[in-house]
Structure 1
Amino acid sequence: MHCRTIGSSILFVVCSVWACTTLAAAGDAGSSMPSAMDERVRACTSCHGVQGQGLNNDYFPRIAGKPADYLFNQLSSFRDGGRTYPPMGYLIAFLPDDYLRKISQYFADLQPAYPNADTGSVSPAVLAYGERLVTHGDPARKLPACAACHGARLTGTQPGIPGLLGLHASYIAGQMGTWRSGTRHAIAPDCMHSIAVKLTDKDITAVSSWLARQPRPDDPRPAPVSVAALPLACGSQPQ
């Protein structure tokens, strides 16, 4: 069995145990549910880090500090089938929207330290190409800059566009692959799929490598709601 498959299976078991504990507490009609949100989200922090800072692997990204609407959209998508990852689907299968919104706001309010930047060997030419795509896009291919939606500081934009910093290159590349293949999708029009299908493997490697090497910004919070129109229609975002 491939080592990635073994790792994913182990993580499924670990998260499933935490899921059972959390769901049991959430479903108890008595007073057994912990009153503090940091206790209620232990099933989340056991995988994503004690403050949602993420772990040093491909599976569990940083979720802290992302806009609450974005986090809610992802949780409901895992629950309802828009994103497929068995431990996440099992964890929240029976949680109602109001509980998912409380979880989302809890992590949106956190700003723990960023992880160390990726340091693997990548050529300067690849990094320069990645920076160009992130900051300027490729007009000839009608590819908007990542910064056009995710903010000039790449920390996301309120109310629902996530930051791209503090993530490992392998995770970013993996998610771009799922957008491109359609195994991850959003409300139509699915703008990320429209962008991802135009990306080559070279593009994805360059963008993910450059993003993963960026330092924590002076202000890591998502940018305020933008009055500028997005470069293309996104069904998951208010226009």
Structure 2
Amino acid sequence: MIDRLRSLLRPLAPLWMAATLGCGLAAAQPATPPAPVAATTVSSGMASRVLACVTCHGKEGRATQEGYFPRIAGKPAGYLANQLINFREGRRSYPQMTSLIEHLTDDYLREMAAHFAALEVPYAPPPAPQAPPAVLEKGRLLVQQGDAARGIPACVQCHGQAMTGVNPFIPGLLGLPRDYLNSQLGAWKTGQRRAHAPDCMADIARQLTPDDVSAVSAWLAAQPVPGGGKPAARLGQPMPARCGGVDGVPVAAG
């Protein structure tokens, strides 16, 4: 699989080199979270340059039925750019991803992010619930209300009431496979996935028990995606804590 992905990307090497020379070597080592990415910057030729991406993430980045690789089509551009840079810089661990993008500049990764963010493709219906009603209800309560006694904010406080994310940096949590949600919450919890400090998701994940993770992922994976999954333009209320890589959103006092 890796050899095939490399073969798809190999013809693009001159483009990557040109981007690197044009931006300067310092661009590959960001000291701060990446800047917002405007969907209007999408290159008309980018679709042919991301064939390696859709090999795993599905046609147009809409994910596949196999159930692990996440959808990237329509995700907020700033979020996608952050994640690509996190893979390149080692804050996220998936060798196949790192191998493919380790030599790409920030600007090139942001252009890729803008390409996928601008795609509007339908979501598949959710699978049948994969947990008993009591587990699903526990997941719903954590997502919609949190658990103040344990310092766990509701997911909707950051990811939006519709759970479709908020432009430009906060991803939606619906339309994702349960296995993927489980693995990412586990990765936050164990430190295999990190973000720019302050790493609010890591703090939250460490408060979750394995049963919490299972319940949240089961409930989220069983929900239909409203409104075509489009991210909200703004959150509408202060976030419960400061989060690295999320700029311009007010934080609740206290």
What is the TM-score of this pair, normalised by structure 2? 0.82
Please give the alpha-carbon distance, in whole angstroms, between the structure 1 residues aligned to 2:133 and 2:171: 27
Residue 174 of structure 1: aligned partner:
183
Give per-residue Cα distances to partners, 1:157-199, cap 9 Å, x unaligned: 1120001111110100000000000010001110000000000
**Aligned mate of 2:10, from 16, 20, 29:** 20
**Aligned mate of 1:235, from 244, 248, 253:** 244
- 1:109–1:235: structure 2 CA closer, same or farther, 3 Å change rule? same
Q: Note if 1:85 corresponds to 2:94.
A: yes
Please give the alpha-carbon distance, in whole angstroms, between the structure 2 residues aligned to 1:229 and 1:199: 22
Aligned partner letter, 2:222:
R
SS of the counterpart of 2:108?
A: helix
Please give the alpha-carbon distance, in whole angstroms, between the structure 2 residues aligned to 1:89 and 1:72: 14
What RMSD over aligned residues (CA atoms) do the two structures have, in Å? 2.0
SS of the counterpart of 1:218?
A: helix
CA contact (8 A) 2:158 2:235 kept: no
Residue 207 of structure 2: aligned partner:
198
SS of the counterpart of 2:229?
A: coil
Unaligned 5+ segments in structure 2 are 20-42, 250-254
Residue 56 of structure 2: aligned partner:
47
- 1:22–1:54: structure 2 CA closer, same or farther, 3 Å change rule? farther
Answer with 200-209 or 55-64: which moved more: 55-64
Unaligned 5+ segments in structure 1 are 1-10
Count, aligned residues: 225
After TM superposition, give the deviation of residue 233 of structure 1 in Å.
Answer: 1.2
Residue 148 of structure 2: aligned partner:
139
Aligned partner letter, 2:72:
I
Residue 230 of structure 2: aligned partner:
221
CA contact (8 A) 1:157 1:223 kept: yes
After TM superposition, give the deviation of residue 109 of structure 1 in Å.
Answer: 0.8
Residue 159 of structure 1: aligned partner:
168
CA contact (8 A) 1:12 1:86 kept: no
CA contact (8 A) 1:64 1:108 kept: yes
Aligned partner letter, 1:20:
R
- 1:124–1:41: structure 2 CA closer, same or farther, 3 Å change rule? same
CA contact (8 A) 2:164 2:225 kept: no
After TM superposition, give the deviation of residue 118 of structure 1 in Å.
Answer: 2.4
- 1:35–1:67: structure 2 CA closer, same or farther, 3 Å change rule? closer
Answer with 190-199 or 111-120: which moved more: 111-120
Residue 109 of structure 1: aligned partner:
118
Please give the alpha-carbon distance, in whole angstroms, between the structure 1 residues aligned to 2:170 and 2:132: 30
Q: Equivalent pairs: percent with the same residue?
A: 46
Please give the alpha-carbon distance, in whole angstroms, between the structure 2 residues aligned to 1:221 and 1:177: 26
CA contact (8 A) 1:12 1:87 kept: yes
After TM superposition, give the deviation of residue 26 of structure 1 in Å.
Answer: 3.9
Aligned partner letter, 1:18:
L
What is the TM-score of this pair, normalised by structure 1? 0.87
Answer with 53-62 or 181-190: which moved more: 53-62
CA contact (8 A) 2:126 2:224 kept: yes
Residue 3 of structure 1: aligned partner:
none
Answer with 72-81 or 12-21: which moved more: 12-21
Residue 28 of structure 2: aligned partner:
none
**Aligned mate of 2:66, from 44, 57, 64:** 57
After TM superposition, give the deviation of residue 35 of structure 1 in Å.
Answer: 6.1
